[in-house]
Amino acid sequence: MRALSGAEEERARRLHAEAFVFAGHTDFIAGVSEGRSRGEKGVAGRRQLPLLRAGGVKAVCEHVAGDTPYFSTFAFRNIRPLQPTKFALQALDYWYSELEETPDWQLVLEAGDFRRAERAGKVAVVFGFEGAMPVDDDLGLLRMFHRLGIRSIGLTWNGRNLLGDGVSVGAGGGLTTFGKAAIAELNRLGIVIDVSHMSDEGTRDAIETSAMPIIASHSNARALCAHPRNLTDDLARGLAERGGVIGVHMLNMFISGSNTATLDQFLDHIDHFVRLVGPEHVGLGPDCMEQWPGDVYKTLWTGTEAQALQFHYPRSSIRWRSASTSRAGSSRGATTTRRPVRSSATICCASSSRCSEDGRDAARG
pLDDT at position 238 is 98
Q: Largest alpha-carbon pair distance within the chain?
A: 57
Distances 200 to 170, 269, 315, 320 between C-alpha atoms, Å: 10, 19, 17, 19
Per-residue pLDDT tens over the stretch 282-291: 999 988 866 5
Amino acid 50 reads P
Ranges of the chain whose pLDDT falls below 50: 72-78, 304-312, 314-318, 322-364
Residue 255 to residue 320: CA distance in whole angstroms: 7
According to DSSP, the residues that pair with 26 across neighbouring strands are: 62, 288
CB environment 182-192: b (16+ within 10 A), e (fewer): bbeebbebebb
Nearest CA-CA partner of 285 in 116, 166, 79, 130: 130
Nearest CA-CA partner of 80 in 95, 61, 94, 65: 65
| DSSP structure string for 128-180 | EEESSGGGTT-HHHHHHHHHTTEEEEES--SSB-SSBBBTTT-S---B-HHHH
**Opening angle at CA 19, ends 231 and 5, nearest 5:** 95
pLDDT at position 287 is 87
Q: Evaluate whether 81 touches 133 at the Cβ level (below 8 Å).
A: yes
Residue 114 to residue 123: CA distance in whole angstroms: 8
Residue 281 to residue 12: CA distance in whole angstroms: 21
Nearest CA-CA partner of 21 in 62, 61, 63, 59: 59
H or E element that contains 129 = strand 123-130
Residue 65 to residue 152: CA distance in whole angstroms: 11
Nearest CA-CA partner of 65 in 7, 122, 135, 14: 135
According to DSSP, the residues that pair with 253 across neighbouring strands are: none
**Opening angle at CA 360, ends 77 and 88, nearest 5:** 60
Q: Residue 23, Cα to own-chain centre: how many angstroms?
A: 8
Nearest CA-CA partner of 284 in 327, 344, 332: 344
If DSSP codes are grouped into helix, strand and coil, which group holds residue 57? Answer: strand
Residue 208 to residue 68: CA distance in whole angstroms: 27
pLDDT at position 300 is 57
CATH no. of 20-360: 3.20.20.140
Residue 72 to residue 62: CA distance in whole angstroms: 17
Residue 104 to residue 218: CA distance in whole angstroms: 26
Residues 6+ apart with CB under 8 A from 258: 252, 320
Domain regions of the chain by residue span = 20-360
If DSSP codes are grouped into helix, strand and coil, which group holds residue 193? Answer: strand
SS3 content of the chain, % helix, strand, coil (to 5): 40, 15, 40
pLDDT at position 30 is 85
Per-residue pLDDT tens over the stretch 85-106: 998 999 999 999 999 999 999 9
Q: What count of Cα atoms within 13 Å lies in the side-chain half-sphere of residue 203? A: 30
